[in-house]
């Protein structure tokens, strides 16, 4: 595999194309069977959309859906590889039983408890402040780099108990004969790593289930070596991919959401990864591909392709969905064919409000699949009143894109 791959699509179908025993490390953070609807605000409150974590039919449907994918993940994992699955109390015990069946009970290595503090607490219950990460291997010949993940002996993990290697303990010879490793302490299977806080502007992207890079750094450095291939089949906002990139690993990221793929491209660009250095597969190549998008997925894709910034407000936005990059001109997005005069009329009203008190031209863009004769005539008429509205089709955007196209070669092959 010459390039890292970022793939948009159903991970079950994509996993089926990957050769057996191809990947060195797999980490997945799948939907948690939480029966919640998340309102996602993408980067700098750029977009709000619905992220569904709902499973009609109950837990058995969810586990069957996951099992199909775990079977494929087991197949593509190398004999020396490790598999991590991130979950919580909603379905963790069901997933453990299912993974025991697929990997084998004896291949289970750790139930890692990721502990964290912060947020609200219930009045009549203990606060739920941990996730669970199950760790499996495929054989006894697995990678585990303990020296890469040692922690300081002085670290007060519980907030009350000192390390057994503390100086006070050594002085009274309680642990005579033990010698601390100069590289640090062997970590336990419970990790106190803080989640991302709203104030963490450097790393936080606004994705509600985003995990901190410190968590993925421990997983990736412990269970892989430089040059190894990392796979995240539910890559979301790309934390595993960003960490793999920083630690000189190769990677494959898969997500069904085009918005997630777009966000990951931006995130990787911030750490110096050029888009041309990645195989980006499954993103829309023709207008028909965009018809299946949910409205806010479509809106975000359009504005991102124009290098604009989406409106931070989902409602009450005066008909303005985003703004152009340099001049901050309003953008309206319509997932429609043959957009007519009425849309242009309404956009003129939005522009008047936006440019209230402004002297000079009122600029804006409308993007749709196609425009009718009435829309073009209204744009020409509005120009005489100081409006400069540009009508842009989805095909216009696609034709100007410089994106990696599908090639005739297989997606995955050994060099």
The three-state (H, E, C) secondary structure of 200-214, written as one string: CCCCCCCCCCCCCHH
Asked whether the predicted pLDDT for residue 176 surpasses 90, the reply is: no
Model confidence at 319, pLDDT cuts 50, 70, 90, reads confident
Asked whether the predicted pLDDT for residue 43 surpasses 60, the reply is: no
Determine the pLDDT at residue 291: 86
Q: Give the CA dihedral 168, 173, 175, 178, nearest 10 degrees.
A: 100
Name which of 17-26, 346-355, 397-406 the model is least confident about. Answer: 397-406
Determine the pLDDT at residue 174: 54
pLDDT tens-place string over residues 62-77:
999 999 999 999 999 9
Determine the pLDDT at residue 159: 42
Residue 131 to residue 403: CA distance in whole angstroms: 37
On the CB side of 255, CA atoms within 13 Å amount to 25
For residues 194-222, average pLDDT? 87
Percentage of the residues of the chain whose pLDDT score is greater than 70: 83
Q: Which residue has the tokens 């750490």?
A: 271
Asked whether the predicted pLDDT for residue 221 surpasses 70, the reply is: yes
Range 288-400 has CATH code 3.40.1350.10: yes
Determine the pLDDT at residue 292: 83
Give the single-character DSSP code of 53.
Answer: E
Higher pLDDT, 300 or 138: 138
For residues 383-407, average pLDDT? 75
CA distances from 348 to 131, 149, 241, 273 (A): 50, 59, 43, 40
For residues 161-187, average pLDDT? 63
Residue 396 to residue 86: CA distance in whole angstroms: 41
Paired with 134 in beta bridges are: 85, 111
Q: 69 in the Ramachandran plot: left (φ > 0), alpha (ψ -120 to 50) or beta?
A: alpha
Residue 36 to residue 48: CA distance in whole angstroms: 15
What are the domain boundaries of the chain? 4-149+187-281, 288-400
Asked whether the predicted pLDDT for residue 346 surpasses 90, the reply is: yes
**Class of residue 270 by CB neighbours under 10 A (exposed 0-12, middle 13-18, buried 19+):** exposed
Helices (H) and strands (E) in the chain, counts: 12, 16
Asked whether the predicted pLDDT for residue 173 surpasses 60, the reply is: no
Determine the pLDDT at residue 46: 38
Model confidence at 404, pLDDT cuts 50, 70, 90, reads very low
Coil, strand or helix at 84: strand
Tokens coding 363: 């600029």
Q: 357 in the Ramachandran plot: left (φ > 0), alpha (ψ -120 to 50) or beta?
A: left
Asked whether the predicted pLDDT for residue 171 surpasses 70, the reply is: no
Determine the pLDDT at residue 314: 53
Asked whether the predicted pLDDT for residue 169 surpasses 70, the reply is: no
CATH topology of domain 4-149+187-281: Rossmann fold (3.40.50)
Name which of 200-204, 213-217, 392-396 the model is least confident about. Answer: 200-204
pTM assigned to the model: 0.80
Determine the pLDDT at residue 193: 93
Do residues 323 and 311 lie in contact, with contact meaning Cβ atoms separated by under 8 Å?
Answer: yes
Percentage of the residues of the chain whose pLDDT score is greater than 90: 57
Which letter, b or e, does each residue of 102-135 get, where b requires 16 or more Cβ atoms within 10 Å of its Cβ? bbeeebebeebebebeeeeeeeeeeeeeebbbbb
Q: Give the CA dihedral 137, 138, 141, 142, nearest 10 degrees.
A: -30
pLDDT tens-place string over residues 244-270:
999 999 999 999 888 889 889 989 999
Asked whether the predicted pLDDT for residue 412 surpasses 70, the reply is: no
């Amino acid at each position: 595999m010459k390039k890292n791959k970022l793939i948009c699509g159903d991970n079950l179908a994509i996993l089926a194309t990957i050769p057996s025993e191809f990947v060195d490390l797999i980490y997945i953070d799948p939907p948690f069977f939480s029966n919640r609807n998340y309102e996602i605000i993408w980067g700098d409150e750029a977009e709000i959309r619905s992220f569904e974590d709902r499973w009609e039919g109950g837990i058995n449907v969810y586990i069957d859906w996951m099992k199909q994918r775990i079977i494929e993940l087991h197949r593509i994992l190398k004999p020396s590889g490790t598999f991590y699955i991130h979950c919580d109390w909603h379905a963790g015990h069901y997933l453990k039983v299912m993974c025991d069946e697929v990997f084998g009970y004896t291949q289970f290595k750790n139930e890692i408890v990721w502990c964290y503090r912060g947020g609200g607490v219930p009045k009549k219950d203990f606060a739920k402040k941990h996730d669970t990460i199950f760790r499996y291997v495929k054989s006894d010949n697995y990678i585990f780099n303990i020296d890469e993940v040692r922690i300081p002996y002085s670290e007060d993990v519980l907030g009350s108990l000192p390390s057994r290697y503390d100086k006070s303990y050594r002085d009274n010879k309680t642990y005579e004969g033990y010698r601390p490793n100069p590289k640090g302490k062997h970590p336990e299977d419970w990790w106190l790593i803080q989640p991302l806080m709203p104030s963490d502007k450097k790393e936080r992207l606004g994705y509600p289930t985003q995990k901190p890079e410190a968590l993925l750094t421990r997983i990736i450095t412990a269970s892989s070596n430089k040059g190894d291939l990392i796979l995240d089949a539910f890559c979301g906002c790309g934390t595993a991919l960003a960490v793999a990139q920083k630690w000189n690993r190769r990677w494959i990221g898969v997500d069904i959401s085009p918005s997630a793929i777009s966000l990951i491209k931006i995130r990787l660009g911030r750490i110096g990864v050029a888009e041309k250095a990645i195989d980006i597969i499954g993103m829309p190549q023709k207008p028909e591909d965009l018809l299946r998008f949910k409205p806010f997925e479509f809106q975000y894709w359009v504005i991102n392709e124009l290098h604009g910034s989406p409106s931070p407000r989902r409602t009450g936005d005066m008909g303005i969905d985003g703004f152009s990059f340099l001049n901050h001109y309003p953008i309206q997005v319509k997932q429609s064919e043959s957009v007519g005069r009425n849309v242009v009329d309404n956009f003129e009203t939005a522009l008047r409000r936006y440019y209230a008190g402004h002297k000079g031209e009122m600029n804006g863009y409308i993007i749709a699949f196609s425009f009718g004769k009435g829309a073009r005539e209204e744009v020409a008429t509005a120009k005489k009143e100081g409006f400069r509205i540009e009508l842009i089709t989805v095909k216009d955007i696609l034709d100007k894109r410089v994106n990696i196209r599908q090639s005739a070669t297989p997606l995955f092959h050994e060099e």
